[in-house]
Amino acid sequence: MTTSMDRLAAAIHGTPCDRIPVFCNLIDQGAIEMGMKPQEYFSRGDCVAEAQLRMLAKYGHDNVWTLFYVGKEAELMGCDKIKFALDGPPNVENFVIRSWEDIPGLRVPDDIESHPSFAEGARCTAILRREVGGKVPICAYVTATMTLPAILMGMDRWMELLFLGPPELTAMLLEKCHELFVKEIRAYRRAGADVLVYSNPFGSTDMVPMNFFLERSLPWIERDIAAVGTAGIVYYCGMASMNRVISRVLERTGIGVYYLSPLDDITRGRELIAGRALTCGVINDIELIDWSPEQIEHEVERMIAAGKPGGKFLFGTGVMPAAIPEPSIRAMMNAALRFGRHEVTAS
């Protein structure tokens, strides 16, 4: 039987398979699925794994997640307060860096694998490995060096430092973030993650001007990737658009998978990638909340028609908001599985 892993491999290599892979990123739905309060749910890796497996059985997509919430990375750096919500994702509440003076003292833990905040993630990964390892791609999320300061000091303070502050301090902070980045990628690989989503809104010209991207963001992307290799790495700008930078990132790093934004034109993305990597077309899951079943089907059909011809295409979602009704998730999945079928099926 064809597995999700087979589909992903076929999509990456452009070889025949039964259908395109479909990634459905259900993170905020986990606590609801388990009938638990978010705070308790997110403190237990076994529950997060269980929710991923239940939702996998329910919707039939092709991936599972080890991501709890992005603020976990801030916890590794000392963040002691997360704001939980019943109807949405947790957020960093206390910033580790409150003034520029805090930067020199910031410490990356020597061993992140023994850090309590990582340990539950590792526990979750181990369970997923045991249950679906080798069959369903296990995804992990890691924030890029250039973007990580946003959750350590807040996006506004980071922009201020980056564009108006002393360059030595910025450089010092980025070195530390890079150190954490490398440790995280290695730890997730050891724990058994197959897909490593490299999240970098600062690698999108929605966030920074093109000149800045070329002079500052791109060199850090190169350094990040040179340090950890491209295996399993997915380029992702946190739902900011990337068509304007894809060619350069591809040429300079060799990253093999591009997870577009709904704001990117899929046809254009494919043209830019030109068979050199896997293109992931991403549905606008914020509009999805209010779409009718017909609208959902129509949109999925349109996206797949734009991406599938010629192969090397994956259909994906963003970080699905909790407000999306279950029937809408099913309608999206049904349409994606149906329109994603290939004429030629693997034997």
Partner 1 sequence: MLTELITQYNEALIDTDRDRALQVVHDAVARGVSPEAIVFEVVLPAMDRMITCMTVSGDASIAQHFITAQISNTVTNEMLTRFAVPSETRGRIVIGNSFGDLHALGKRIVIGCLRARMIEVVDLGLNVTAEQFVEGALEHGSPIIAISSMMVHTARGPNGCLGVRRILQERGLEDRIKVIVGGAPYRFDHTLWQTVKADAWADNAMAGARMVEDMLLGVPR
Asked if 196 touches ligand B12 (CB under 6 A), the answer is no
Taking the C-alpha atoms of residue 346 and residue 58, their distance in angstroms, rounded to an integer, is: 25
CB-based contacts of 59, cutoff 8 Å, min separation 6: 24, 26, 329, 330, 333
Q: Choose from ligand B12, partner 1, none: what does 133 bind? Cβ within 5-8 Å by kind.
A: none
Decide whether 4 or 145 has the Cβ nearer to partner 1.
Answer: 145
Q: Which of 21, 38, 78, 89 binds ligand B12 (CB under 6 A)?
A: 89
Asked if 319 touches ligand B12 (CB under 6 A), the answer is yes
Region binding ligand B12 by CB under 6 A among candidate stretches 38-46, 252-260, 269-277, 315-323: 315-323
Ordered alpha helix ranges (H), 2-96: 4-13, 30-34, 38-41, 45-59, 71-76
What is 204-263 written as a DSSP string? STTTS-HHHIIIIIHHHHHHHHHHH-STTEEEE-TTS--TTTHHHHHHHH---EEE--TT
> Cβ 111 to partner 1, closest distance in Å?
30
Q: Which of 11, 20, 24, 27 binds ligand B12 (CB under 6 A)?
A: 27
Cα torsion 212, 166, 221, 282: sign: negative
Asked if 239 touches ligand B12 (CB under 6 A), the answer is yes
> Cβ 180 to ligand B12, closest distance in Å?
13
Q: Choose from partner 1, ligand B12, none: what does 266 bind? Cβ within 5-8 Å by kind.
A: none
> Cβ 308 to ligand B12, closest distance in Å?
23
Q: Please report how many Cα atoms fall inside a 13 Å half-sphere around the Cα of residue 65, on the Cβ side.
A: 23
Binding site for ligand B12 (CB under 6 A): 27, 69-71, 88-89, 91-92, 143, 147, 150-151, 155, 199, 201, 206, 238-240, 286, 318-319, 321
